[in-house]
Amino acid sequence: MLSLRDLLTLWDFKTHPFETYTAENEPRLPEYFVEPPYLDDMVGSASSMAPAIVFGARGIGKSAIRIYIESLCTKPNPEQDIGGRAIAITYDDFTHALDDGIDKVSVEKHLEIIMNKIVGAALLTVANSVQGEEVSEDTIRKAFPTLDISAFGKLVYKYFSQLNELQKEKTLKGVYNYFRGETMSLYDRANWFQKLWGTLRAPIIDITNVILATRGKDLIQAVNIPAQMKLDLRDAEELINDLQAVASLTEQFGIDGWYILIDKVDEDENTDSDAVKSAKLILPLLKNLRVLEIPRIGFKFFLWSQLHPTLVEERVRLDKIRNWEMGWTKAELREMIDKRISAHIVVPSRL
């Protein structure tokens, strides 16, 4: 009797087309992704971003859309698909936001985490641009001639250098542009990042201090915080101002915008597959239009459809946030299956 593996080989499959059950474990997903009709509106463009929500049942493909948007940002010529260059940052781990329980979730906690991730992604952008050269003021200015290093250094100090090593590593979990396709283990990645931060910390903080000193302002210090120490939460006004500062620095990093992709709200143990709890987790962010409408920062939400009634009840401005309900026609499902199977079949070589 033939095994499944034998049958797949007999039918010229190089890999099992339905071996995985989650989008994150589909390494070739962009090859057989079927674009829903609203995808272009959902994505928008890198330089002109707007908040958007995709609602859908579980398993219908919300995370697949998120991953596809991530992949668009890493293409050699992203201008063809998203009208510019952007960095995709995924926010799907809400552990820190839920430190004090579901009832204490706030926009401040969400923004603190998002700022950590953006600043971490910006540091990776700096590191990747000076590869092979010693990181210094000269190499940074060569790669980013218009970058306001003083403003960037302040953000690095506030949202990165004060984190402990574990927190620094976690901020990079959702930085798709760097880690997608990398084969490093978690241990190697942590070691790599510690080495990177050791290389970047002094030049960025030192350069900033030189600039501040010439202006007669107080200096900042790069510090390491013990793992058990909890930093005071900044107020919303300061966080929004800093997010706006990031927006103003965007072009100085050689990109046009930042995608903030928010997924798996209902999959945290604190939300417990409960629509009301899941809505409560994300409502502080969804209800703050001042945050969602900051230029060059595009908030894209991928939400379980059962959250929709609660969002309406809580008066989330869905008239201001473009939104769609996911669904597939029979023709689209057939196309999806055909493309998926084709991507896993060995193409016979021509003699």
> Tens of pLDDT along 245-298?
999 999 999 999 999 999 999 988 888 889 999 999 999 999 999 999 999 999
> Tens of pLDDT along 323-339?
999 988 888 778 777 77
The answer to whether residue 14 is domain-embedded is: no
Domain count, the chain: 1
Secondary structure of the chain in HEC code, one letter for each residue: CCCHHHHHHHCCECCCCCCCCCHHHCCCHHHHCCCCCCHHHHHCECCECCCEEEEECCCCCHHHHHHHHHHHHCCCCCHHHHCCCEEEEEECCCCCCCCCCHHHCCHHHHHHHHHHHHHHHHHHHHHHHCCCCCCCHHHHHHHCCCCCHHHHHHHHHHHHHCCCHHHHHHHCCCEHHHHCCCCCCHHHHHHHHHHHHHHHHHHHHHHHHHHHHHCCCCCCCCCCCCCCCCCCCCCHHHHHHHHHHHHHHHHHHCCCEEEEEECCHHHCCCCCCCHHHHHHHHHHHHCCHHHHCCCCEEEEEEEEHHHHHHHHHCCCCCCCCEEEECCCCHHHHHHHHHHHHHHCECCCCCC
The answer to whether residue 103 is domain-embedded is: yes
The answer to whether residue 257 is domain-embedded is: yes
pLDDT at 137 over 80: no
Please provide the average confidence, as pLDDT, over all residues in the chain: 78
Q: 216 lies in which domain range?
A: 37-327
C-beta separation of 302 from 259 below 8 A:
no
The answer to whether residue 315 is domain-embedded is: yes
The answer to whether residue 105 is domain-embedded is: yes
The answer to whether residue 155 is domain-embedded is: yes
Query: 200 or 248, which is more confident?
Result: 248
The answer to whether residue 147 is domain-embedded is: yes
The answer to whether residue 339 is domain-embedded is: no
> Tens of pLDDT along 158-187?
887 777 666 666 666 656 444 444 445 555
Sequence-distant (≥ 6) Cβ neighbours of residue 76 within 8 angstroms: none
